[in-house]
Amino acid sequence: MRIQALLILVALLAPPLSPARAADDAEVKRGGYLAIASDCTACHTAPGGQPMAGGLRMASPLGTIVSTNISPSQEHGIGRYSFAQFDRAVRHGIRGDGARLYPAMPYTAYAKLTDQDMLALYAYFMTAVRPVETSPEHTRLPFPFNMRLSMAGWNILFLDSGTFVSDPKHTSEWNRGAYLVQGAAHCGSCHTPRGFLMQEKSGQPMAGSALGGWFAPNITSDAISGIGGWSVEELTTYLRTGHAPGKAQAAGPMAEAIDASLRHMNEADLRAIAVYLKSVAPVRNSADSRPAFAWGTAGDDLPSIRGVGLPGNLDEMTGPQLYDAHCASCHQSQGQGSFDGALPSLFHNAALGRSRADNLVMVILNGLRRHPDVNMPAFGHALSDIQLATLSNYLTSKWGNPQTQITAKEIGTLRAGGAPSPLLLLARGGMLLIAILLIVALVWWQYRRLSKRQPQAIDPAHTPGE
């Protein structure tokens, strides 16, 4: 594993090779590894579908985006792409035909990939991925987002096209982690808050962001709001298995990222990611008073409801009654989980300790699936919004952060897939407004460019231990 890491490092430091030369097996293999690290399959393989054939429907705040066929099919995929076209698509968000990609494709992160890695990725896609001769349906976003040209303006504003440059002030492990986090693993795509125009906010990397009902938590080094209280070993275990005992379990999109990508990465890379994340500038959420994993102790209220009949109207069931009916079978009477750790405890569990209940409610609504056959069933069909609000509020007060409360109305919103983007409402209000916004934004960008000459991405602005 160390040798592999070393080879990658050597590759990183080597001068760019000519795209014309033939790929060798090692390069294809490395490209395959990068494709996994980049989690291409997460979006470009539909459930039960052919690898890289696209067709996954992704709900975005702007509408449903359908992923494309990126297998090397001449007709339906990227088989005719030259390396230059491939590179433009992956690192610049410009399709082979010149059309702009929506930033659902994390090209703003992939822009960090080195030339060598791009060559390896290209070699892998062209030689090792099986061509699939089908085309998924086209993405049809509502006006004005159906005009892909609008993305050109967006790219001017938010695409940072410099590749990763390592920082000699840090260890090679840290640099490897930074490269993976900012580039292939595109952690910020979910974990960095997005601005009004859906761009990642450059000032608060990894500070947490809402995402289709889920909340990608703050993974800065802050000891309270972030992962400062996690050891590198715990983070590494979590990235590999989705479970760090006494800390958290991965669910939703993070479980998918672990299943499709992170668990296939080598230990050295996962460790490098952990080391780097531990150095990301801390961002504190003022609502947080202690780490999400640090709440709660064993204890139960079940004896108090024994001998008490259920109410005629099941929406009037109490928190302990709902817990008894739906949760206790697995999480046990005191919330302690099973003796073997297979069924997690509810105290010292980040899902119940955050200052917002989104992820807790989303897990209850949709269940949790993770390799290898971790399966918490979904309860969305079994619980009304009122019941779920009672239950969630009971769970957080009993075993989690008692300040974290949620209403039935908010649960209805989560059940419907999260809050819609204000951008959509605004955009539907008229192109005029959009035009004004773009002008304002362009002026702001000009101002920023003049006031800040250095391309920000090349500057590793993080100071460890901050």
Partner 1 sequence: MTTPSSEESLPFPPTSGHQDKTWTVARRALLGGLLATSTLAVITWAAPTPSPTPERGAFIALSSLLVGRQTLDPGQAARLFDALLQDDPAFSQKTAGLLSFINARLIAPLELQRLLDAENSPFATLPRIIVTAWCLGIVGTGDKARCLAFETALNAIIVADVLRPPTYAYGGYGSWAAPPRTVSTQAAGSIGKLPGSHAERITHG
Partner 2 sequence: MADQAADFIVIGSGIMGSLVARRLAESGASVLILEAGPRVTRGELVARFRNSPRRSDWMSPYPPSPWAPHPVYKPQDNGYLVQAGPYPYPAEYIRQVGGTTWHWAAHAWRNVPNDFRIKSLYDVGIDWPFSYDELEPFYQQAEELMGVSGAPNTGSPRAKPFPMEPVAEPFAMRRIRERLAGSFDVVSNTTARNSRSYDGRPPCCGNNSCQPICPIDAQYHGGIAAASAEAAGAKLLPDANVFRLEHDTAGRIVAAHYFDPDKGAHRVTGGTFIVAANGIESPRLMLLSASDKYPAGLANSSDMMGRNLMDHPSTSLTFDAEDALWLGRGPQSPSSINTMRDGTFRPDHAPYRLDFTNISRVDNATRALISAGIYGPEFEKRLRQTAAHEMNVKTVLEVLPHPDRRVTLSDQKDAMGLRKPQVHYAIDDYTRRGSASGKRDFQRIADLMGGTNLRFSKDGDYANNQHICGTMSMGNDPRTSVCDGYGRAHDHENLFFASTGVLPTSGTCNSTENGVAVALRSVHHILGAVAPVAARNAVSL
* Look-up of token digits 């409402």: 425
Q: Applying CB under 8 A, does 330 fall inside the site for partner 1?
A: yes
Total residues binding partner 1 (CB under 8 A): 23
332 binds partner 1 (CB under 8 A): yes
Which residue in 64, 82, 289, 338 binds partner 2 (CB under 8 A)? 338
Which one of 160-168, 187-195, 331-339, 445-453 is the stretch in contact with partner 1 (CB under 8 A)?
331-339
Site for partner 2 in 363-392 (CB under 8 A): 369, 373, 375-378, 381-382
Q: Which two tokens stand for residue 33?
A: 């590894």
Q: Of partner 1, partner 2, none, which one sits near residue 310, judging by CB under 5 to 8 A according to partner kind?
A: partner 2
- From partner 2, partner 1, none, interface partner of 321 (C-beta below 5 to 8 A by class): partner 2
326: contact with partner 2 by CB under 8 A: yes
Q: Does 436 bind partner 2 (CB under 8 A)?
A: no
Q: Out of partner 1, partner 2, none, which partner does residue 443 contact, by CB within 5 to 8 A per kind?
A: none
β-pairing, 63-66 vs 209-211, is unpaired
97 interface partner picked from partner 2, partner 1, none, CB below 5 to 8 A per type: none
Residue closer to partner 2 (CB basis): 95 or 263: 263
End-to-end CA distance of the chain: 31
Q: Could you tell me how many residues of this chain bind partner 2 (CB under 8 A)?
A: 26
Instruction: Bin 132: left if φ > 0, else alpha if -120 < ψ < 50, else beta.
Output: beta
Smallest distance, partner 1 to C-beta of residue 345, A: 7
Residue 381 touches which of partner 2, partner 1, none (CB < 5 to 8 A by kind)?
A: partner 2
| Under rule CB under 8 A, residue 12 binds partner 2 | no
- Judged by CB under 8 A, which of 303, 432, 451, 465 binds partner 1? 303
329 binds partner 1 (CB under 8 A): yes
Asked whether position 143 contacts partner 1 by CB under 8 A, the answer is no
Indicate whether 410 belongs to the interface with partner 1 (CB under 8 A). no
Q: Per CB under 8 A, which of residues 255..314 are in contact with partner 2?
A: 302, 305-310, 314
Question: Does 302 help bind partner 1 (rule: CB under 8 A)?
Answer: yes
Interface residues with partner 2 (CB under 8 A) are 302, 305-310, 314, 321-322, 324-326, 329-330, 338, 342-343, 369, 373, 375-378, 381-382
Interface residues with partner 1 (CB under 8 A) are 298, 300, 302-303, 306-307, 328-330, 332-343, 345, 373
